[in-house]
Structure 1
Amino acid sequence: MYKLHPETTDDAYEVEALYDLVFAPGREALSSYRLREGVPAEAGLSRVARDEGGILAGALRFWPVSVGGAEALLLGPIAVHPTRQGEGLGGLLMAEGLAAAWAAGWPRVMLVGDYAYYRRFGFEHLSGVVMPPPTNPERVLGQGDWAGITGPVERRLP
């Protein structure tokens, strides 16, 4: 049994440690991290999952970006502790996070990931949306209102 809640500043250290464990410290070399530098995550949307003992089991963050001048959310990273994987926690984090994004009025969400995994959550390939290199365009996925939205993905500063 897990309790999900919006990420707070008190969670930040543990969440970063979880991301390092799951993705390795080199994760920050990915192009998606250039879009996150100096930009706070959407605190009301980012989620953490804790077990009955209060131990962090998973986390999901959202970041504001601009695509061809249009607002969007960049989902990620999403991580589940290795000892908790296979329990459906990633799907629960995804469902809760996306529900919060839609309820907050965000029109579109994107991520960089494996289509075979993320299509079950309603993500489709985004053609014409260009992530900073060296991102494989086949891994740029989205859901929501992407009609007519094309161009480079850029950071959105607060």
Structure 2
Amino acid sequence: MYQLEVETADDYWEVENLYDTCFAPGRELLSSYRLRDGVEKVSDLCLVARDPDGILAAVIRFWPIRVGTGEDRALLLGPVAVHPTRQGEGLGGLLITEAMAEAVKLGWERVLLVGDEPYYARFGFEKLDHVEMPPPTNPDRVLGVALRPGAWDTVSGLVHKDD
């Protein structure tokens, strides 16, 4: 019913409009946006879902980040958004599942996000007590999933941009 495609430059304004529809004003002031400033998104993992009429229904983006003082890279998932008229159809889950499967194929080992654990736990995300997002971020909302067993076991510290 929905067509999943890699986001293109032509999708930019439509995607931004969906984010504006789904999230509160000031969303770009969040600390996760500072990690994205001036950094190219991981284009192969940024997906859009369109209905049979070509109308944008949902979108997901990923960004490269680093954790701690070493070279520990991870993906920052987000934002993921589903148009309010399409919520409850499983589109968010479909995008997360498809994008993370592709991330595994591309050799990524870990994913981090800031979100609600009850929702994201179904995809394997758990609270990361040893990883710190820049303030202001509620530490209880810093979640991660290992795409390779044990990928988060030795990773700790502050999350920063992947320059």
RMSD over aligned CA atoms reads 0.8
Secondary structure of residue in 2 paired with 1:148: coil
| TM-score, with length taken from structure 2 | 0.94
Aligned equivalent of 1:23: 23
Note the C-alpha offset of 1:25.
3.3
CA distance in 2, matches of 1:12, 1:39: 16
CA distance in 2, matches of 1:115, 1:24: 20
| TM-score, with length taken from structure 1 | 0.97
* 1:77-130 per-position Cα deviation (integer Å, ceiling 9, x unaligned): 000000100111111011111111111100100100000110001101111100
Aligned length: 157
CA distance in 2, matches of 1:9, 1:82: 24
Question: What stretches of structure 1 move > 4 A for 4+ residues in a row?
Answer: none
CA distance in 2, matches of 1:100, 1:72: 14
CA distance in 2, matches of 1:28, 1:98: 24
Q: Give the alignment partner of residue 93 of structure 1, picking from 92, 95, 102.
A: 95
Aligned equivalent of 2:65: 65
Structure 2 segments unaligned to the other structure (5+ residues): none
CA distance in 2, matches of 1:65, 1:81: 27
Q: Which amino acid aligns with 2:55?
A: I
Aligned equivalent of 1:151: 157
Aligned equivalent of 1:108: 110
Aligned equivalent of 1:46: 46
